[in-house]
Amino acid sequence: MKIAISGAHGYLGKALSDHFAQQGHTLVRLQRNDCPLQQPTIEKIGENCQTFIHCAYDMSLSTWEDICRVNIQGTTKLFALLAEKKIPQVIFISTLSAYPACHSNYGRAKYQLEQEALARGFLVLRPGLIYGGEQRGLIGKLKKICGGRSLLPLIGSGRQVQYTTFLPDLLAFISEAVASELGSPQAISAAHPRGLTFRTILASLSGRKQILFIPIPWPLVWFALFLLERMGLRPPFASDSVLGLVYPTTSADFSSPFCLEKFRPWSA
């Protein structure tokens, strides 16, 4: 089967590309230069592509105006091109951070794009906090901060509930969705249904039995990171990620029969 993947050098995109290549599929790995969100093009896909998996998202953008211009408008144009090309199956990788009243720009953008994807009959997958494999992404950054430390900063109360997704489980689930041509317009929560508090995740990433948390008001952390971003710097932790952690979804739907018992519980 011929499969095209955008964002093929990202955390999930690279893992998916390697996974499908090992299964013997023909892979078209689209990078930013091949399929820029500002001016999407799909000429590189060629003919007879059965599945397109859209993982690409420019995380370097911090203002809502830039996110709308690049990620939302660019992906909307890409969706139109995919529909015009009549790709049999399109899978849009969203996030559990996407919900109607979300506070983060990342969640807002993904939620808008979910509506566009569903309207075109695409499949939407909503992973939680992805971990495993090369351990990149948000969990990877948190692990670098927490690893081996018994004294940890805590953003907010730490009681915010997060849902996690083990990368090998997600790869297997997407592979199953591709093989079964599961492509009807629906959004599936691709995470383990038992949530964990942010405090529990940090303690697990630390690896220490006894942890002393130092609570820090989240607006203070957010504002400091926001100022660094406005100065043209790229802090290791985005200000928008703070909003995603402080205001996680409270309405995740795990009722789909396609994801029940597909994802294992959290284990650092």
Domains and CATH numbers, the chain: 2-246 (3.40.50.720)
40-50, pLDDT tens digit by residue?
A: 567 778 788 99
Q: What is the pLDDT of residue 36?
A: 55
Confidence of residue 34 (pLDDT cuts 50, 70, 90): low
pTM summary value: 0.91
98-120, pLDDT tens digit by residue?
A: 999 899 999 999 999 999 999 99
Q: What is the mean pLDDT of the chain?
A: 88
Average pLDDT over residues 165-169: 95
Q: Indicate whether 93 pLDDT > 60.
A: yes
Confidence of residue 182 (pLDDT cuts 50, 70, 90): low
DSSP label at 249? -
- Mind giving me the DSSP string for 55-120? ----TT--SHHHHIIIIIHHHHHHHHHHHHHT-SEEEEE--TT--TT--SHHHHHHHHHHHHHHHT
Q: What percent of the chain has pLDDT over 90?
A: 58
Distance CA 196, CA 201 (A): 7
